[in-house]
């Protein structure tokens, strides 16, 4: 079979364990993510707090375990105090990030209560753009201190007796970006982040902190920013952030399908920089990574913040995703999992409406975009230990990323159940790919549970309100485990595949 990709599956060869927070998402006060997204008081399914029940059901089905809030660019001009206390008394503010009117009807307590009801760990961001140390430590005190201080007692006065106990905190957002309100140099930001982090930890020593890395790998300061920020913050922080969005340019679909190759190199470069700072400082701890914004985003279609009309709850970057987009999202998930030894946190940006896996209409329907399915399947099945695999097989030439493998794949092993999960993408646009994976060592004697595939003859097929299930995963035929112990499967062109195996006995 000339168009065949091969690799070996052996549970003894591991990369690292999957942190459940790798399946995180992101809610920002941007467009319709919050208002008419997760929160829509007039909706027939809304709970007493105004949060949509149909969206909550889809969030549970998506399987995310963590959600980042409230931004994003929004946080760099946000006064968190505007979003607490009686809703009728909250001010309407001009949000400079997205040229929107922010009503502040959803704020810290509403969001954190919603997240906890859904079993989601919150990842909060503090404003290091227009504000700084004092506002950051006050927010931690408001959220996490039990009682007996001004900020904790104010939370209790606002009707929340038990602390929210938020443990993961972002020290600002994309502070290297000239578009950011309060943009800073690496030295300025690193110094502020270190001091803010110290103060926040004095309030709650148990919290974990994320420092801002570069906004993307294309920034002119990429690499030098990471080095300087880590030099300033290494002793105070636990994670360094990465952000990346991908889109198809000028009809170059081959490069778009290979976006994971870029993400892979990006992660490796940041890890190398972190290793360098660690070596220079002769430090013992390793900085882990928080890839807390990633997705497919057709940013070339976005007019830019300065061209937006000021409005309340505008429809911003509500991209409709295709089969091809879903396959790319699956490939990016595979890349994150392959780096499970260093990537502990990751957030698909965003959760609802804004470049999101879930779409809604105000007061009306909600539905799953094509990208919902690879995320939900990975979150449901790809747990435990990521195995080290090296594939051989056909290659594809791309204009942006050079030569890449037609197969993009990762394997996870759940030690408790013995389950093996193979996530695989065929990047080839015209040819099916034959997969032959030899089951060795502890993987010998496994049986096939199922092979689900997301593909379509029309690679541009999408889900819509009228046709919400146009693109869904379906059972594949012909997949088997041979008597010789080889997993054999056919992967259609431009496809996302989930193959589950279990011990035969």
As a whole number of angstroms, the distance between CA 348 and CA 355 comes to: 9
CB atoms within 10 A of CB 404: 22
Q: Is residue 174 among the annotated active site residues?
A: yes
Instruction: Please tell me whether residues 419 and 368 are part of one structural domain.
Output: no
Tell me the C-alpha to C-alpha distance, in Å, between residue 324 and each of 54, 255, 294, 353, 462.
Answer: 27, 12, 16, 19, 9
As a whole number of angstroms, the distance between CA 450 and CA 421 comes to: 10
For residue 70, cis peptide bond before it (omega within 30 degrees of 0): yes
Instruction: Please tell me whether residues 366 and 441 are part of one structural domain.
Output: no
As a whole number of angstroms, the distance between CA 384 and CA 415 comes to: 7
Q: Is residue 293 among the annotated active site residues?
A: yes
Instruction: Please tell me whether residues 390 and 356 are part of one structural domain.
Output: no
Q: Which CATH number does the domain housing residue 398 bear? A: 2.60.40.1180
CB atoms within 10 A of CB 209: 22
Give the end of a domain, one of 356, 381, 406.
381
As a whole number of angstroms, the distance between CA 402 and CA 384 comes to: 32
CB 286 within 8 A of CB 230: no
Buried b (16+ CB within 10 A) or exposed e, 482-500: eeeebbbbbbbbbbbbbbb
DSSP letter for each residue of 403-466 = EEESEEEEEEE-TTT--EEEEEEE--SSS-EEEEEEE-GGGTTEEEEEEEEE--SSTT-B--SS
Give the end of a domain, one of 360, 381, 402.
381
User: Structural domain tally of the chain?
Assistant: 2
- Comparing CA positions, the residue from 348, 284, 423, 469 lying closest to residue 26 is 348
- Output the pLDDT for position 1: 55
As a whole number of angstroms, the distance between CA 233 and CA 66 comes to: 24
Locate the DSSP E strands across 247-340: 288-296
CB atoms within 10 A of CB 258: 27
* Residue 108 CB partners (closer than 8 Å, separation 6+): 80, 83, 84, 139, 142, 143, 164
- Comparing CA positions, the residue from 116, 110, 107, 236 lying closest to residue 165 is 116
DSSP letter for each residue of 36-59 = TTTB-TTSTT--TTSB-HHHHHHH
- Output the pLDDT for position 441: 87
Q: Assign 303 to helix, strand or coil.
A: coil
- Output the pLDDT for position 335: 98
Instruction: Please tell me whether residues 102 and 233 are part of one structural domain.
Output: yes
Q: Tens digit of pLDDT per residue, the chain (505 long)?
A: 569 999 999 999 999 999 999 999 999 999 999 999 999 999 999 999 999 999 999 999 999 999 999 999 999 999 999 999 999 999 999 999 999 999 999 999 999 999 999 999 999 999 999 999 999 999 999 999 999 999 999 999 999 999 999 999 999 999 999 999 999 999 999 999 999 999 999 999 999 999 999 999 999 999 999 999 999 999 999 999 999 999 999 999 999 999 999 999 999 999 999 999 999 999 999 999 999 999 999 999 887 777 777 889 999 999 999 999 999 999 999 999 999 999 999 999 999 999 999 999 999 999 999 999 999 999 999 999 999 999 999 999 999 999 999 999 999 999 999 999 999 999 999 999 999 999 998 878 899 999 999 999 999 999 999 999 999 999 999 999 999 999 999 999 999 999 999 998 7
- Output the pLDDT for position 303: 79
Instruction: Please tell me whether residues 453 and 326 are part of one structural domain.
Output: no
- Output the pLDDT for position 174: 98
CB 202 within 8 A of CB 225: no
Instruction: Please tell me whether residues 137 and 51 are part of one structural domain.
Output: yes
Give how far the C-alpha of residue 38 lies from the chain's centroid of Cα atoms, to the nearest Å: 17
Instruction: Please tell me whether residues 203 and 310 are part of one structural domain.
Output: yes
Instruction: Please tell me whether residues 495 and 459 are part of one structural domain.
Output: yes
What is the residue range of 257's domain?
Answer: 19-381
As a whole number of angstroms, the distance between CA 488 and CA 132 comes to: 56
* DSSP 8-state code for residue 384: S
**Set 102, 141, 174, 248: catalytic member:** 174
* Residue 342 CB partners (closer than 8 Å, separation 6+): 16, 267, 271, 286, 288, 289
Instruction: Please tell me whether residues 372 and 395 are part of one structural domain.
Output: no
Tell me the C-alpha to C-alpha distance, in Å, between residue 499 and each of 263, 411, 459.
Answer: 24, 9, 21
* DSSP 8-state code for residue 179: T
| Residue 119, Ramachandran bin (φ over 0: left; ψ between -120 and 50: alpha; else beta) | left
Instruction: Please tell me whether residues 64 and 49 are part of one structural domain.
Output: yes
Instruction: Please tell me whether residues 396 and 344 are part of one structural domain.
Output: no
Instruction: Please tell me whether residues 290 and 146 are part of one structural domain.
Output: yes
Q: Assign 377 to helix, strand or coil.
A: helix
Q: Which CATH number does the domain housing residue 226 bear? A: 3.20.20.80
Give how far the C-alpha of residue 362 lies from the chain's centroid of Cα atoms, to the nearest Å: 25
Give the end of a domain, one of 347, 381, 415.
381
């Amino acid at each position: 079979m000339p168009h065949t990709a091969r690799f070996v599956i052996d549970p003894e060869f591991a990369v690292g364990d999957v942190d459940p927070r790798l399946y995180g998402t992101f809610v920002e006060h941007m467009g319709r993510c919050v208002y008419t997204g997760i929160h829509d008081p007039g909706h027939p399914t809304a709970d007493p707090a105004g949060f949509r029940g149909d969206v909550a059901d889809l969030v549970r089905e998506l399987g995310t375990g963590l959600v980042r809030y409230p931004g994003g660019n929004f946080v760099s001009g946000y006064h968190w105090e505007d979003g607490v206390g009686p809703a009728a008394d909250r001010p309407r503010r001009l949000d400079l990030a997205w040229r929107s009117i922010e009503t502040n009807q959803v704020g810290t307590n509403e969001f954190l209560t919603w997240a906890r009801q859904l079993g989601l760990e919150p990842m909060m961001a503090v404003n290091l753009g227009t504000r700084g140390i004092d506002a950051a430590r006050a927010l931690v005190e408001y959220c996490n201190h039990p009682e007996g201080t001004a900020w904790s007692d104010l939370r209790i006065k606002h009707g929340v007796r038990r602390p929210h106990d938020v443990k993961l905190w972002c020290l600002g957002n994309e502070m290297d970006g000239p578009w950011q309100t309060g943009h800073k140099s690496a030295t300025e930001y690193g110094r502020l982040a270190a001091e803010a982090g110290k103060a926040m930890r004095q309030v709650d020593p148990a919290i974990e902190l994320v420092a801002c890395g570069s906004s993307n790998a294309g920034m002119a300061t990429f690499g030098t920013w990471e080095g300087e920020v880590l030099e300033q913050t290494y002793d105070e922080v636990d994670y360094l952030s990465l952000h990346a969005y991908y889109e198809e340019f000028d009809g170059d679909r081959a490069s778009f399908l290979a976006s994971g190759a870029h993400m892979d190199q990006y992660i490796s470069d940041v890890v190398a920089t972190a290793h360098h700072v660690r070596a220079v400082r002769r430090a013992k701890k390793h900085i882990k990574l928080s890839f807390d914004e990633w997705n497919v985003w057709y940013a070339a279609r976005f007019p830019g913040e300065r061209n937006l009309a000021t409005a309340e709850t505008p429809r911003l970057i509500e991209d409709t995703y295709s089969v091809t987009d879903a396959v790319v999202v699956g490939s990016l998930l595979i890349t994150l999992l392959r780096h499970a030894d260093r990537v502990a946190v990751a957030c698909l940006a965003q959760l609802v409406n804004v470049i999101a896996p879930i779409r809604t209409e105000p007061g009306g329907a909600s539905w799953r975009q094509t990208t919902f399915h690879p995320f939900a399947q990975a979150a449901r099945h790809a747990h435990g230990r990521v195995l080290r695999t090296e594939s051989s097989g056909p290659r594809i030439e791309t204009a942006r990323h050079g030569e890449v493998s037609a197969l993009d794949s990762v394997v996870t092993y759940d030690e408790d159940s013995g389950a093996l999960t193979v996530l695989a993408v065929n990047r080839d646009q015209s040819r099916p790919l034959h997969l032959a994976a030899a089951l060795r060592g502890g993987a010998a004697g496994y049986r096939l549970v199922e092979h689900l595939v997301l593909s379509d003859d029309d690679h541009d097929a999408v889900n819509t309100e009228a046709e919400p299930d146009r693109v869904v995963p379906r059972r594949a035929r012909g997949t088997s485990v041979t008597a010789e112990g080889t997993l054999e499967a056919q992967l259609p062109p431009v496809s996302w595949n989930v193959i589950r195996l279990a011990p035969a006995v």
